[in-house]
Amino acid sequence: MSELLPNYIAGRWVAGTGSGTPLFDPVTGDELVRVDATGLDLPGAFAFARDTGGAQLRAMTYAQRAELLVGIGAVLQKHRDAYYALSLANSGTVKNDTAVDVDGAIYTLGQYARWGAAIGQSTGERRFLLDGEAVKLSKEPVFQSQHVQVPTPGVALCINAFNFPAWGLWEKAAPALLSGVPVIVKPGTATAWLTQRMVQDVVDAGILPPGALSIVCGSSAGLLDQLQSFDVLSFTGSAETAAVIRRHAAVAERSVRVNIEADSLNSALLLPGAAPGSEAFELLIKEVAREMTVKSGQKCTAIRRVLVPADVYGAVAEAVSARLAKTTVGNPRNEAVRMGALVSRAQKAAVHEGLALLKTQTEVLHDGARHALVDADPATSCCVGPTLLGTRDADGANLVHDTEVFGPVATLVACRDLPHALALARRGQGSLVASVYGADAGALAGAALALAASHGRVHVVSPEVAATHSGHGNVMPQSLHGGPGRAGGGEELGGLRALNFYHRRAAIQAGSAVLGALG
Query: Catalytic residue numbers?
Result: 261, 300
Considering only residues 64, 228, 241, 479, which one is a binding residue for ligand NAP as defined by CB under 6 A?
241
Angle at 386 between CA 382 and CA 387, to 5 degrees: 120
- With binding defined as CB under 6 A, does residue 196 bind ligand NAP? no
* Element holding 316 (H helix, E strand): helix 313-325
Which residue's CB is nearer to ligand NAP, number 236 or number 321? 236
- With binding defined as CB under 6 A, does residue 385 bind ligand NAP? no
Which residue's CB is nearer to ligand NAP, number 259 or number 381? 259
Considering only residues 237, 407, 438, 473, which one is a binding residue for ligand NAP as defined by CB under 6 A?
237
- With binding defined as CB under 6 A, does residue 36 bind ligand NAP? no
- With binding defined as CB under 6 A, does residue 262 bind ligand NAP? yes
Considering only residues 220, 228, 334, 361, which one is a binding residue for ligand NAP as defined by CB under 6 A?
220
Considering only residues 97, 103, 231, 404, which one is a binding residue for ligand NAP as defined by CB under 6 A?
404
Closest of 46, 37, 36 to residue 10, by C-alpha: 46
> Dihedral, CA atoms, 206, 73, 457, 428, nearest 10 degrees?
-60
Closest of 223, 215, 201 to residue 172, by C-alpha: 215
The beta-strand segments (E) located in 342-400 are 363-366, 373-374, 387-391
Which residue's CB is nearer to ligand NAP, number 97 or number 261? 261
Q: How far is the CB of 160 from ligand NAP (least distance, A)?
A: 5
Contact 488, 428 (CB under 8 A): no
- Number of alpha helices (DSSP H) and beta strands (DSSP E) in the chain: 15, 24
Q: Which stretch binds ligand NAP (CB under 6 A): 8-16, 51-59, 138-146, 185-193?
A: 185-193
Q: Quick one: CA dihedral 84, 88, 94, 99, positive or negative? A: negative
Q: How many residues in the shown chain lie near ligand NAP by CB under 6 A?
A: 25
- With binding defined as CB under 6 A, does residue 263 bind ligand NAP? yes
Q: How far is the CB of 111 from ligand NAP (least distance, A)?
A: 17
- With binding defined as CB under 6 A, does residue 189 bind ligand NAP? yes
Q: Which stretch binds ligand NAP (CB under 6 A): 90-98, 130-138, 258-266, 368-376?
A: 258-266
Strand order through the sheet with 12-14: 12-14, 7-9, 213-215, 183-186, 156-159, 232-236, 257-261
- With binding defined as CB under 6 A, does residue 236 bind ligand NAP? yes
Which residue's CB is nearer to ligand NAP, number 263 or number 287? 263
Count other C-beta atoms under 10 Å from residue 132's C-beta: 10
Nearest position to ligand NAP, beta carbon:
237
Q: How far is the CB of 506 from ligand NAP (least distance, A)?
A: 29
Q: How far is the CB of 104 from ligand NAP (least distance, A)?
A: 12
Q: How far is the CB of 217 from ligand NAP (least distance, A)?
A: 9
Residues 432-471 that bind ligand NAP (CB under 6 A): 432
Pairwise CA distance, residues 507 & 99, whole Å: 43
Which residue's CB is nearer to ligand NAP, number 144 or number 236? 236
- With binding defined as CB under 6 A, does residue 429 bind ligand NAP? no
Pairwise CA distance, residues 496 & 178, whole Å: 10
Residues 128-167 that bind ligand NAP (CB under 6 A): 159-163
Considering only residues 36, 97, 103, 261, which one is a binding residue for ligand NAP as defined by CB under 6 A?
261
Pairwise CA distance, residues 110 & 70, whole Å: 7
Angle at 161 between CA 74 and CA 66, to 5 degrees: 30
The full 3-state SS of 467-514, as one line of letters, equals CCCCCCCCCCCCCEECCCHHHCCCCEECHHHHHHHHEEEEEEEEEHHH
Burial of residue 208, with CB atoms counted within 10 A of its CB: 0-12 exposed, 13-18 middle, 19 or more buried: buried
Which residue's CB is nearer to ligand NAP, number 27 or number 159? 159
- With binding defined as CB under 6 A, does residue 300 bind ligand NAP? yes
Pairwise CA distance, residues 68 & 90, whole Å: 28
Which residue's CB is nearer to ligand NAP, number 168 or number 368? 168
Binding site for ligand NAP (CB under 6 A): 159-163, 186, 188-189, 220, 224, 236-238, 241, 244-245, 261-264, 300, 404, 406, 432, 488
